[in-house]
Amino acid sequence: MASTAATGADDVSAANLVRARDRDRYWTALFAADATRPALFALYAFNAELDHVLSVAREPLAGQIRLKWWRDAIESGDAGDKTGNPVADALRTAIAAHDLPRERLLAMVDARVPELFGDSPADMTEFAGLVDDSHGGLFELAAAAIGDRSDAAKAAAREAGLALGLVETLRALPASVARGRLPLPLAVLDAKGVDLEAMGRGEDSPALRAALAELRGEAAAALQRFRERQEHIAPHARAAFLPLALVEPYLEAMAAPSCHPLRDRVTLNPLGRFWRIWRAARRNKI
């Protein structure tokens, strides 16, 4: 009885953290079946905690220590072993309950290391690999928790991860540059003639806007490829992909001439965001 109560408390803590830090994914989880919702909250809270490490680490070593803690929490112990961290404990419960692949979770941790140390991906191939490990992995794990482990779902998760990974990277660009990080593929910036030093000072330019427009195009193309695959995802598992309902409006907002790419973090009206998620859930398609 005590163990059940503790698990319930962990689930509530995970859900509350997602609601506070990632309201969009919190809303999407509400459209999943009741039995799978705790696992989704655990996964989304875990993802939020990894992002939090990047946002608060003043020194790479401090962030690396925290990421190492998460690696250890995933690799060692089972659902019955408590770490004292409710998100980690909720995640362990989800791993055991849904047989989630630990290697995918570990890859989510490791994908944060390059940005933590200020290492930029060399090209789109390297960038796509990183976002597949992070955003793509999260989509794949969420689909698995809901009940679709098919190759079709995994292929869709890769495209979903690239689409949302690009959007979230571009939205976070002002904060990343302010911390001395540049998580964009250097080959794309170089091809457009972007002055990286000027960019580091927060200076906008036509070359930068051209590079970002190309990256937004990559996100839109990945979203389209996902849409071509979504019919092959089990209907009951499509709630895992509801965050994609916001990709297009975010891309449109970032493309506005008035949006300063190194100063403005694009946001959307909360009611509009929820409506788009609700509409996608009702139609069961993005």
pLDDT score at 78: 66
Q: Is the pTM of this model over 0.75?
A: yes
**What is the predicted pLDDT for the residue at 105?**
98
Enumerate domains of the chain plus CATH numbers: 1-117 (no CATH), 120-286 (1.10.600.10)
Annotate the chain with three-state secondary structure. CHHHHHHHHHHHHHHHHHHHHCHHHHHHHCCCCCCCHHHHHHHHHHHHHHHHHHHHCCCHHHHHHHHHHHHHHHHCCCCCCCCCCHHHHHHHHHHHHHCCCHHHHHHHHHCCHHHHCCCCCCCHHHHHHHHHHHHHHHHHHHHHHHCCCCHHHHHHHHHHHHHHHHHHHHHCHHHHHHCCCCCCCHHHHHHCCCCHHHHHCCCCCHHHHHHHHHHHHHHHHHHHHHHHHHHHCCHHHHHHHHHHHHHHHHHHHHCCCCCCCCCCCCCCCHHHHHHHHHHHHHHCCC
- In the prediction, which pLDDT does 58 show? 86
| 171 neighbors 219 (Cβ within 8 angstroms) | no
Lookup: tokens for 8? 């319930």
> Averaged in consecutive runs of 10 residues, what is the pLDDT profile of the chain (286 residues)?
64 97 98 96 98 92 96 82 91 96 97 95 98 98 97 98 98 95 97 97 97 98 98 96 98 96 95 98 96
Residue-level pLDDT at 2:
42
Predicted confidence (pLDDT) per residue in 7-45, tens digit: 689 999 999 999 999 999 999 999 999 999 999 999 999
